[in-house]
A and B are shown apart, each in its own frame.
Chain A
């Protein structure tokens, strides 16, 4: 050993052992920080394991799916189903991250409006052949819901329920105002007249009870506008999904009507922009007596009835604006899609078929308080015993939804922004709709 190889006193050279220790530490650190490889559906047991993400944190739905539906499916198929419930506000973000990371679930739930973006990115399976293989009886039974899950005529999403928004009204308030609750209005014009009679103001003229409330907060105001637009006979985009069509005379009529609810001397609605739609049942305007009529979804209507059992609360059929047919915003509700990269697509389809089977489907919609997806559910005890659900089922033919086109979320927000301007008196109806249509056309062209 020559002098150069001698270690300094008190020090030891960087030995192989130390190197191993360093490498081990690095590996441990990587493992601890979650960067080691592994995970994902493929490692979880082949096609006998299904990962499912369902949107929403409704405890009744969670209990029903977790305690009843999934165990029954597992028993029937021998599969293992891992269900994760994701808050609606987070579902898009988490799915996007999961797709980017390659860890997206085999099946996931979402609203129909999201379908086109998954399709254009080749993220979900075409279900046409599988739907075609269903019995003709099943397809007929699901006929009202299936189109809402299609993009360019191809089935990608299987709706679990129908959604819709109709007007709920306080029959006692009608009687007190000299109106006949058994003959509710059939057009939006008649409704506005009745709302005038139902509106109460304090000494300063401030509305203390709205005659009628339509949702006017972000996103929901686009749905309110769509309700009036469809009722006037208008549409949101052309059949090809390439051009906005809402800046029409029907659109202007619809927006003028919407604006008139909140502004002017004959306003019948208070608190423009406030989100009453998602308020807890006990704080709903109908329960608190701060509104006589409100647009609502069926599940909340049921909760409102439970929260105010002494009130005579009823649901109106869909209404029309002068010249149009009765229509309301609604149609296919949230449904299930199959990840195009799923290693168990057949099992995934079996799960969807199971969820849509007549008994399970009715049980599911009853548990969640939503509108059954099958027409035959009209004969179920659930529908027969609920005037709310039976009204929605009767009106299912009048429900129209947003188009499934790529970039719809951006189009919706562009429209929403201009609707807000019109509702706040910053722009006229035609000006706002023209601006929204110009923006929408650019978005549709960019995504076309």
Chain B
């Protein structure tokens, strides 16, 4: 019986059993342009690291602790308690439902209306520039300022009740009734989001090759068929972007709630972000507020992925 030594692949034996010296390692050199590239990128990279990634990681760590910023002792590790507490928190459950309802009742309307407006202003007519600008103006005004204006319009002596009064209808408590408050906030938000969505969808419409419309016309496609088989597929990438961004922004609704309703009446407009604010800055409970923030983050990611897949899947 003979025995054999199996050498690892790549291993070679030198005569006399001596191992040859490893090849000299080449020092990695950086070109001048690479160094300068690094120098130019560094500030932005540090900015992202310090002001975006570090706070997110710190927030994640805080979510496993109990911590008040007033405390001198710093965060105390509590494991997953903050997350398990949320499971039985009826207020948090209500906030999730309100946030979901808010997204679901604003998103479809604002996207469909914005698409209709984009189709309208995608054709030349007198004053189209002014029309586009007028629709875009709400987007460039701060949400807080817009909310202040709408707060007055919704008040008992505001514009909407004046109009109702003009037609002999009784005044409504738009923001004071738990049945109507979220709808009133949603109406404001739809108005606010229309302009930016319209501009994005308009850009999407204008990127669809004209040849496709020509071909559809030659094939005898009607308006609906052209819209369904040319416009909509061509618009899909932009539509995905608009839907995803709207979900992200709406699910984080705060400023409008803070100004218009303060989460009331009866919690009917308390979104998750508003509850996070209360927990963190009214009660100084940074740990549980961070846990809420990460639950919201996970839900936003989940719904955004679903929405993107929903639109892109059909494209496949």
Option from A13, A21, A96 in Cβ contact (under 8 Å) with B284 = A96
Query: Are the C-beta atoms of B46 and A30 separated by less than 8 Å?
Result: yes
Main secondary structure of the interface of B (DSSP, over half): loop
Inter-chain CA distance A29–B42, complex, in Å, is 8
Query: Are the C-beta atoms of B281 and A92 separated by less than 8 Å?
Result: yes
Query: Are the C-beta atoms of A410 and B69 separated by less than 8 Å?
Result: no
Query: Are the C-beta atoms of B283 and A409 separated by less than 8 Å?
Result: yes
- Asked if B70 is at the interface of the complex by the 8 Å CB criterion, the answer is yes
Using Cβ atoms and an 8 Å threshold, which residues of chain A touch B26?
4
Using Cβ atoms and an 8 Å threshold, which residues of chain B touch A99?
69-70
- Asked if A97 is at the interface of the complex by the 8 Å CB criterion, the answer is yes
Residue of B nearest to A443 (CB): B283
Using Cβ atoms and an 8 Å threshold, which residues of chain A touch B196?
none
Q: Quick one: CB contact mask for A88-118 with B, threshold 8 Å, 1 for yes?
A: 0000110011011000000000000000011
Inter-chain CA distance A93–B286, complex, in Å, is 12
Inter-chain CA distance A420–B42, complex, in Å, is 53
- Asked if A75 is at the interface of the complex by the 8 Å CB criterion, the answer is no
Using Cβ atoms and an 8 Å threshold, which residues of chain A touch B156?
270-271, 274, 290
Q: Which of B115-123, B260-268, B297-305 lies at the binding interface?
A: B260-268
Option from A14, A22, A424, A426 in Cβ contact (under 8 Å) with B39 = A22
Query: Are the C-beta atoms of B266 and A117 separated by less than 8 Å?
Result: no
- Asked if A267 is at the interface of the complex by the 8 Å CB criterion, the answer is no
Inter-chain CA distance A270–B28, complex, in Å, is 78
Whether A123 touches B70, Cβ cut-off 8 Å, given contacts A22-B38, A29-B46, A413-B282, is yes
- Asked if A264 is at the interface of the complex by the 8 Å CB criterion, the answer is no
Inter-chain CA distance A217–B266, complex, in Å, is 11
Query: Are the C-beta atoms of A21 and B39 separated by less than 8 Å?
Result: yes
Query: Are the C-beta atoms of A117 and B176 separated by less than 8 Å?
Result: no
Inter-chain CA distance A32–B47, complex, in Å, is 10
Query: Are the C-beta atoms of A14 and B281 separated by less than 8 Å?
Result: no
Inter-chain CA distance A30–B51, complex, in Å, is 11
Inter-chain CA distance A270–B265, complex, in Å, is 15
Query: Are the C-beta atoms of A122 and B72 separated by less than 8 Å?
Result: yes
**A200 CB → nearest B CB, Å:** 14
Inter-chain CA distance A21–B34, complex, in Å, is 13
Using Cβ atoms and an 8 Å threshold, which residues of chain B touch A35?
50
Query: Are the C-beta atoms of A33 and B51 separated by less than 8 Å?
Result: yes
Residue of A nearest to B24 (CB): A4
Using Cβ atoms and an 8 Å threshold, which residues of chain B touch A271?
156, 173, 176
Using Cβ atoms and an 8 Å threshold, which residues of chain A touch B21?
none
Option from A13, A92, A424 in Cβ contact (under 8 Å) with B29 = A13
- Asked if B32 is at the interface of the complex by the 8 Å CB criterion, the answer is yes
Using Cβ atoms and an 8 Å threshold, which residues of chain A touch B267?
417
Inter-chain CA distance A22–B68, complex, in Å, is 38
Residue of B nearest to A8 (CB): B29
Residue of B nearest to A99 (CB): B70
- Asked if B170 is at the interface of the complex by the 8 Å CB criterion, the answer is yes
Whether A420 touches B266, Cβ cut-off 8 Å, given contacts A121-B68, A283-B157, A288-B157, is yes
Inter-chain CA distance A272–B266, complex, in Å, is 12
Option from B29, B157, B284 in Cβ contact (under 8 Å) with A117 = B284
B24, B29, B267: most-surrounded residue (chain A CB, <10 A)? B29
Inter-chain CA distance A426–B267, complex, in Å, is 12
- Asked if A183 is at the interface of the complex by the 8 Å CB criterion, the answer is no
Q: Quick one: CB contact mask for A24-37 with B, threshold 8 Å, 1 for yes?
A: 01101110110100
**A439 CB → nearest B CB, Å:** 11
> Which B170-228 residues have C-beta < 8 A from chain A?
170-171, 173, 176, 178
Option from A93, A118, A426 in Cβ contact (under 8 Å) with B266 = A426
Residue of B nearest to A92 (CB): B281
Inter-chain CA distance A426–B263, complex, in Å, is 17
> Which A1-60 residues have C-beta < 8 A from chain B?
4, 7-8, 11-14, 18, 21-22, 25-26, 28-30, 32-33, 35
- Asked if B5 is at the interface of the complex by the 8 Å CB criterion, the answer is no
Option from B29, B263, B284 in Cβ contact (under 8 Å) with A7 = B29
Query: Are the C-beta atoms of B266 and A424 separated by less than 8 Å?
Result: yes
Residue of B nearest to A12 (CB): B32
Query: Are the C-beta atoms of A218 and B262 separated by less than 8 Å?
Result: yes
Option from B31, B46, B50 in Cβ contact (under 8 Å) with A11 = B31
Inter-chain CA distance A413–B47, complex, in Å, is 38
Pairs A–B under 8 Å by Cβ, sample size 19: A11-B31, A11-B32, A21-B39, A22-B39, A35-B50, A99-B69, A117-B70, A117-B284, A118-B70, A270-B156, A273-B264, A274-B156, A409-B283, A410-B283, A413-B282, A420-B265, A420-B266, A424-B178, A424-B265
Q: Which 7 pairs between the two chains have the least Cβ-Cβ distance?
A: A100-B69, A121-B70, A29-B43, A96-B69, A14-B30, A273-B176, A11-B31
With A33-B46, A217-B264 given, name 18 new contacts (CB 8 A). A12-B32, A22-B38, A25-B43, A30-B46, A33-B43, A33-B47, A92-B281, A96-B69, A100-B70, A121-B72, A122-B72, A206-B171, A271-B173, A274-B155, A274-B173, A283-B157, A417-B267, A421-B266
